[in-house]
Structure 1
C-alpha cells in the first residue's frame, strides 16, 4: 500500500441522515491535500472517518501500518481556570523530552511563551501550541482542522508558510480542512471539493476552473481560488479577479 490512508466508496451518517456518500479519498506520503466545502458538507465527518473516530456506514478505509497522525483540532475546550502553561500543555498526555519540546516551541515560534498560561494566548499562538503538540508524535501525516479560523489574512498566510516549511523538513503529509480558500491553495498538491460527495478534485488550477467548484463557491472575490498565488503567477485567465483582488487589498504588484 503506497497511500497513508485510502477510503473507497465510503459513506457516513447519523440518525438516519446521510452526511457523506460514495467518497473515494487517498493521501500519499509527503503530499499536501486540502479539503474545501461549505458548512455541513461533511468535512469534519471525513476527518473523523479517516482517523478512525467513527466507523464508516459503507465502503472501507485502509490505513498503512506505520501511519502516525499528528492532529491539530479546530479548538480544544480547556477550562479557563485551569493553570496550564504552554510548556505543561505539551506534556499532555505524557511528558515530552525537554530538549525536543523546546526545539519544537522554537520552531513554531512560541518559545518565549513557554511559561504563559495557555488560555491567555492569541488565536495564532494557540494554534502554534497545538501544532507543536501534534509534532511531538513525529507524525508522517499532519491533519489540520480549519486551523486558521479567526486569524487575519497575514496570520493565516504565515501559518500556512510554516506548515509548508514543516512538510519540507519532516517529509510528513499534510491534510487540511479549510473554509479559507484564498490562503490555503498555493501550497496544495491537490484540492478536494466536498459537498456530501466529492464534487471535483485536482490541482488548485483545475479546481479553480471547475464548474462544480464555481457552483459551490461563486466566482466573486470571496469565491475566487488562490489569492496569494497571484503575487507570483501572472496568468491572466482571470484578469478581472486579479485586479479586483489586488485593489481590495490595496497592494498592486
Structure 2
C-alpha cells in the first residue's frame, strides 16, 4: 500500500469510525512494543478524534449542555457525530451544524427549548466569526438633511441575527456561562409570553446579545430587510404589538447605532436607487 493510500484510508477511518473496511489499514499497522494490537492502536486514534470533536461541540454549546444535562448532551453529540462526520478541516464548521441536525432528528425536533438554545449558540458563534466591518456612530446621521430621513436605508453588520426563541432561553444561557467569561450583553427587556425576541451581533470583536421587545424586533427586521426609515415608521404605527411612536423608533435607531449594529446609511430615491452613501 502506498503512503498516499494509507493516509487516505486512515483519514476515512477517523472520519467514519470503525468499520469492516479497516482491514487493509490494520494489516499495515504494527503492534506496539507493549503488546497493543493494531486494532487497539487504530481504535485509540478513532476514539481520540471523536472525543476531540465532542469537545469542540461542548465548548460552543455551554447553554445546551446545562439545559440537557451531561448524559443527554453527550448522547446528542454522539448521535450528531455518527450522522454528520466532519468534512472540513476547521472544527468551527462542524460544530455549527448541530442545530440543523436537531431540527431533523426525531428525538430533538420537538424540543423547542433545546432547539432554541442550539440556534442561539450557533448565532453567537456565527457572529464571532463574521466578516470585519467598522460600525458607524449615530453622528453619521448628521450627514443627511431632515428631508432625507424618511428615505434613509441602513446597512447592518453581517454578524447581526434576529431570533425568535422559547421563553427563558437567555436566562438559561446566562446561568450556564455565569462562571465563565462574562458575555457583553446589554440590558434586557421583559420577555414576552410565548416567545423571546433576541438580537445577536458582534461588537469589539466579541459576540453580544440583547433581548428585544416585540415592537423593536419588528422594526429591526424591517430595517435589515432594506425598508426605508419612513416606511418603517408607517408600518410601526399599525403593528399588532401596539402602536410604535416615531420617538420610540428613533430611540431604537439610536440604540442600533450605539450597539455597533449599523455599518452604512444611504438615501433611497423614489426609483430605489441610492445617493449620498455613508458607510464604514
Q: Report which of the two has the higher share of strand.
A: 1
Q: TM-score, normalised by structure 2?
A: 0.23
> TM-score if structure 1 supplies the norm length?
0.25
Q: Which has the higher helix share?
A: 2
